Structure 1
Amino acid sequence: MDISISQPALKWFINEMSVSDGDYIRFFVRYGGHGGAQVGFSLGVSSQDEPFEPVAKTTIDGVTFFVEKKDEWYFDGSDLHIKYSRKKEEIEFLLQ
């Protein structure tokens, strides 16, 4: 599993979540929401956790983005791509 983040999405994280060099962003499975890869679940985002048992991670401009092993099932072998939607003015998650 790989994680990729577009530059506009990175800029969103910096501006909206006030992350900077040395910070972490965790993508985790949460119950509820819509548009998820698994019915009844969606992705959550946290800047409060450091990697414990990451199954995937990438660092861009000093910010480490990661998914823990316990959430790997949600992705069903897909890679996570994060982009910014100018139309919606928010980030979007794509699994491919």
Structure 2
Amino acid sequence: MREIPNHELIAKRIPAADGNRRSLIGFAHTFNGYAFLAGEEPSERLSGDWSDLSLSELRCLLFWQVRSDRWSGGLSTDWPSLWSLLAVIRSRVEAGALE
């Protein structure tokens, strides 16, 4: 999957909360959370209320949660939370909050 910068995101191309996990995982991998955090621990930067996070931080959080799912063998993922996070990302893009 190729990386997609925030300014190239199109809301209607962000997966809908329809339960298609493959589409959510694919979208999560359009953001390089490793590069974004540059060695920082995700918990240090991405904790707290989602409303306080930038679009890049929200995308990084989605990336890390999807990676965590892979590392745990799919046993620790809160899919409803991931779908909610994706909805927040889509609403930010719809509002033009692309920082």
Answer whether TM exceeds 0.5 for this pair.
no
Q: Hey, which of these two has a bigger chunk of strand by percent?
A: 1
Q: What TM-score do you get using the length of structure 2 for normalisation?
A: 0.29
Q: What TM-score do you get using the length of structure 1 for normalisation?
A: 0.29
Structure with greater contact order relative to length (CA < 8 Å, sep ≥ 6): 2
